[in-house]
Structure 1
Amino acid sequence: MSRRSASALVALGVLGAVGVLVWPASTAAVSEPQKPAARPFGAACSVYVEGSTATAHCHNPYLDTDRVQLHVECERWWDVDADSAPVDLGPTGRATLTERCWKEIRSVRVSHLRR
């Protein structure tokens, strides 16, 4: 065997080995496992402000218990902000939450916590 043909044979062997190492054994697509869909959550709350009083009417249409709480921020710097006691709403549960400021209300929100 000549030196040239030996070099060619070695080059083919190297290319073949690289091809085996680089080329995937299977080109079939591998799918990622599906995550289960998140269950819907969160009570529907309607908030009303009348003067210095805020009221939230909440209804939980879902299976998971939702702990709702009304948070009222007062407009005046000296007026103390108020948070209602938390209420656990089970499926089809309803609750009315009320808080107030001495003077005007700046903002009102209802927080939700999955229980």
Structure 2
Amino acid sequence: MRVGQRRALALLFVLLLAAAGFAAPSVVRAATAPEAPPAAPAPEPFGAACHTSVHGSQVTAYCHNPYPDTDLVRLHTDCANWWDLDADAAAVGVGPGQTVRLTDRCWKDVRAVWVSHQKAR
């Protein structure tokens, strides 16, 4: 075989190998998504719905508990004057389906009023 024929044969061989490489079935693996962490359980609904009102120096709050757990509610009153004592009422248990009324007062003006909640043990 002559050198030119050998080169042509080698080139043909290389081209056949390259074509075989492109024609060979390739293995494609599907990418798997990482597993999502387990979902945290949704917290159970809790807490009485409270509505407050201020009339002059009188404060009133109505709290209704639509949930099955007892809610301990406290009325907090912030009086406007420095010499007028602020008040934090004792906790009152609001059972399932119950409505309670909480009242308090300042000597003169009321600056702020709010209700805090706590789960009964």
Per the normalisation by structure 2, the TM-score is 0.69
Structure 1 residue 68 corresponds to structure 2 residue 73:
yes
Name the structure 2 match of 1:19. none
Q: 2:101 corresponds to which residue?
A: 96
In structure 2, the residue matched to 1:111 is: 116
2:47 counterpart (39, 42, 49): 42
Equivalence for 2:63: 58
User: For residue 66 of structure 2, what is the amino acid of its counterpart?
Assistant: P
Q: Distance in 2 between matches of 1:111 and 1:28?
A: 44
Q: Does 1:86 align with 2:91?
A: yes
Q: 1:58-108: CA deviations, max 9, x gaps? A: 100111211101000000000000122210111112110001001100000
TM-score using structure 1 length: 0.73
User: Structure 1 unaligned runs (5+)?
Assistant: 1-25
What's the % identity of the aligned pairs? 54
Q: Distance in 2 between matches of 1:34 and 1:73?
A: 41
Per-residue deviation, 1:33: 1.5
Q: How far, CA to CA, are the matches of 2:36 and 2:84 in structure 1?
A: 58
CA offset digits 1:31-75 (Å, max 9, x no partner): 311211111111011101011010001100111211101000000
User: Unaligned 5+ residue runs, structure 2?
Assistant: 1-30
* Alpha-carbon contact 1:83-1:99 (below 8 Å) kept: no
Aligned residues, how many? 90
